[in-house]
Structure 1
Amino acid sequence: MSSSQSQAQNASSSSTANGATSSQETRLQHFQRSITLLLFLWPSLTLAVTSQWGGPDSASKREWFAGTLIDLLCAPENLDVDDAWIEELLLQVMEDEFEVVVDDGSAGEVAERLVRVRGECMRGEFGGVEELERRWEAKNKGKGTGTEGLFRKGEDQGDTSGSEDDEEDEDEEGDVEMDEAPQLVRVKEPVVPEVDEDGFTKVVKKKR
């Protein structure tokens, strides 16, 4: 085999490997997007935030909730958890953080949708995520809060200009802004999994 043929094969193999990695990353990113959208579109959670059942920092708790769910469901050991596991987690966080018992069956519906869209994303099918995006945009039509900023990884962290002004504006308004487009959020506080006597995993947010 000539040197040029060998180089061509190596380049092709490298391109294929990079393509596979990129595809896996794209699938995972779409699944993360669906997690955020499903939580922000969940009426029970929206009501808990607008009513501030979790206290004045209810909106921040919702962001923590989304980040925690992303980290847990995207962990390799949890990629095949079923909807019952997810539903139990959703109910636990709602009760622990927002002091509300969700008994309308909506947590189960969110969990089932998460499992379904997870399977779609892992197969490279993103129609479910796109449908969620359309729902979010329809909900916020005319409010200038589309999904453009959903996954701006790290961009906002490096841009500190105007952050102080933004904080001042938030303090002056004092209201929960429900129309803000959901962002890719990470866990702000450590998440400590605990296993109870029955073998169920509990998620505990460490208090500062």
Structure 2
Amino acid sequence: MEPTSTAPPATDAASYLDLAITLSLNNWPALSLAVQSNWGGPTSGDKRDWLCGAISEMFTERPETDAMDLEDVLIQVMNDEFDVVVDDESAGNVADQIMELKTHTDRGDFAPVQQMWEAWQTKSQSKSAAGQFQKVEAQDEDQETDDDDESEEGGDVDMDDAPSLVRAPRERVEPEIDDDGFTKVVGKRR
């Protein structure tokens, strides 16, 4: 579930927890990159939404869930659904954040989630304003007839702080042939 600026404010602990999970996952750079790059296929956004619901459901069905359990789920989903191996400890950080927010919502303290929501809205508004600026700027550049491309220099970007993501290679499954010479059909593992 991608949070929208028109979403109604949460009114109870469960709604705030769902919002906290959604915001945490949408703010996770590794998952955001996987979704934007469609590493999970054309339904990558839907997979993120499904993950939000699955985590919420996990807390309901297994209240003993802790940060380590949650981290395992995040790593497994990133690997299975997006072919991404997350080895930068960010899954643990997201799991810790969700567990901390769950503790707050269980106590009826919704202020941290509300702050995250307000920050998300501000960030979303900034993105749409920046998007409008970029569209206008692109139109202005199209109208220029000067050949000033040589005056612009592209500098190197420091990638030291970029998340460490490794796409897991897909394993080719060899077909199984039974005693009668028929090939066994095996569905995808989910």
Pair in the same fold by TM > 0.5: yes
Is 1:126 aligned to 2:147, yes or no? no
CA distance in 2, matches of 1:121, 1:65: 20
Quote the sequence identity (%): 40
- Larger of the two Rg values belongs to structure: 2
CA distance in 2, matches of 1:104, 1:117: 22
Q: Which residue of 1 aligns with 2:8?
A: none
**Mean CA deviation greater in 60-69 or 38-47:** 60-69
Report the residue type matching 1:108 in the other structure: G
Structure 1: gaps spanning 5 or more residues: 1-24, 145-204
Q: Deviations over 1:80-122 (max 9, x none)?
A: 3211110000000010000001111111011001111111101
Q: Which residue of 2 aligns with 1:59?
A: 45
Shift of 1:79: 2.3
- The number of aligned residues is 122
Q: Deviations over 1:149-205 (max 9, x none)?
A: xxxxxxxxxxxxxxxxxxxxxxxxxxxxxxxxxxxxxxxxxxxxxxxxxxxxxxxx9
- Find the partner of 1:68 among 48, 54, 72: 54
Q: Which residue of 2 aligns with 1:26?
A: 12
- TM-score, structure 1 normalization: 0.54
Report the residue type matching 2:23 in the other structure: L
Q: Which residue of 1 aligns with 2:124?
A: 140
Q: Which residue of 1 aligns with 2:31?
A: 45
CA distance in 1, matches of 2:87, 2:127: 31
Is 1:87 aligned to 2:71, yes or no? yes
CA distance in 2, matches of 1:126, 1:113: 14
CA distance in 1, matches of 2:24, 2:73: 14
Shift of 1:206: 8.0
Q: How does 1:129-168 map to 2 (within 5 A)?
A: 129-142=113-126
Shift of 1:66: 1.2
Report the residue type matching 2:99 in the other structure: V
Report the residue type matching 1:62 in the other structure: R
CA distance in 1, matches of 2:29, 2:119: 13
Q: Deviations over 1:111-138 (max 9, x none)?
A: 0011111111011101110121122112
Q: Which residue of 1 aligns with 2:159?
A: none
CA RMSD, aligned part only? 2.2
Structure 2: gaps spanning 5 or more residues: 1-10, 129-187
